């Protein structure tokens, strides 16, 4: 078992840290939210007083933060993670951030003898709670092998996808596919209902054919019922679509459908739906068609 420092106990980080504690690891965690620290202690972990306290003496450090500015502040700033942990420590950033920040963190870590992996996840809050995340890992193969037993406690699909930053690129690809699928399912619902066809029945058929997807499997009933409690908020997907578009520009490729989906997600945020689940793209498509949920 390992001594693990865990920074970032949000809706994803809290259950992830709890799974690690339940597996027998010695987990010290820190978050600015006192309630999150209390949940960690209830799960068998230790609530640290600050970042340095959480990671001091840790063999593995995991960061699970909202975006790259928070990662840069927690990891790279004076007094942060890299200033506190010892050479040889394994740092796995499981946040979803831009690839260039992951590469910057890896270079800064290497200069201090610290092993770094970027390991963003897919599966949302439910995947974190069920320890069923998909984890895409960038970095050195040997470091991935060392971290895999920890990752296996958190997810069902754990894959080394390439060098530093590659995990973030794969996550960006994941998010553009997820966003595009939600947008198309939303359009299918609007078309079915506007044509007088029961959307639930129609999506049941689609889910059993070539159009079937994990999103149709898990979300078609809640979308038809207009139940948009987050899982994964539109605000966060908006951030992720920006990462995908920036990665496309950096790689000098055109992703026209990604651009359109990014605008739909941005529209949902502008319409005040940022705190809703990303399946609420249905509300955006409805409004573009001059329809509302009340008319269904």
Q: Which residues are catalytic?
A: 171
For residue 134 the two structure tokens come to 């998909």
**What pairs with residue 254 in β-bridges?**
none
Residue 9 three-state SS: coil
Phi, psi angles (nearest 5°) of residue 253: -125, 155
Count of other CB atoms within 10 angstroms of residue 165: 22
Count of other CB atoms within 10 angstroms of residue 84: 19
Residue 109 three-state SS: helix
CA-nearest of 260, 261, 269, 282 to 194 is 282
Chain position carrying tokens 């970032």? 8
User: What is the C-alpha separation between 245 and 15, in angstroms, rounded?
Assistant: 30
User: What is the C-alpha separation between 71 and 53, in angstroms, rounded?
Assistant: 17
Task: Work out whether the CA dihedral 235, 157, 4, 147 comes out positive or negative.
Answer: negative
Residue 290 three-state SS: coil
Rg (CA), the chain: 20
């Amino acid at each position: 078992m390992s001594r693990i420092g865990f920074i970032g106990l949000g809706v994803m980080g809290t259950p992830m840290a709890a799974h690690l504690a339940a597996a027998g690891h010695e987990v010290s965690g820190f978050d600015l939210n006192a309630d999150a620290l209390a949940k960690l202690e209830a799960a068998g972990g230790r609530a640290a007083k600050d970042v340095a306290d959480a990671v001091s003496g840790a063999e593995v450090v995991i960061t699970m933060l909202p975006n790259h500015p928070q990662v840069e502040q927690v990891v790279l700033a004076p007094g942060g993670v890299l200033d506190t942990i010892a050479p040889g420590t394994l740092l796995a950033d499981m946040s979803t951030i831009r690839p260039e920040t992951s590469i910057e963190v890896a270079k800064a870590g290497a200069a201090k003898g610290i092993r770094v992996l970027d390991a963003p996840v897919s599966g949302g809050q439910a995947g974190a709670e069920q320890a069923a995340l998909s984890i895409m890992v960038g970095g050195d193969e040997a470091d991935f092998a060392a971290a895999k037993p920890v990752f296996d406690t958190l997810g069902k699909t754990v894959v080394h996808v390439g060098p530093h930053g590659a995990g973030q690129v794969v996550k960006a690809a994941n998010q553009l596919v997820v966003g595009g699928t939600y947008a198309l399912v939303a359009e299918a619902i609007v078309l079915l209902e506007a044509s007088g066809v029961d959307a639930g029945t129609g999506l049941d058929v689609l889910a059993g054919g070539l159009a079937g997807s994990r999103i149709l499997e898990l979300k078609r009933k809640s979308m038809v019922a207009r139940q948009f409690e987050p899982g994964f908020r539109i605000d966060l997907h908006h951030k992720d679509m920006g990462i995908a578009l920036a990665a496309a520009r950096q790689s000098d490729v055109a992703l026209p459908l990604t651009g359109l989906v990014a605008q739909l997600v941005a529209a949902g945020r502008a319409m005040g739906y940022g705190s809703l689940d990303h399946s609420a793209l249905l509300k955006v498509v409805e409004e573009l068609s001059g329809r509302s949920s009340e008319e269904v």
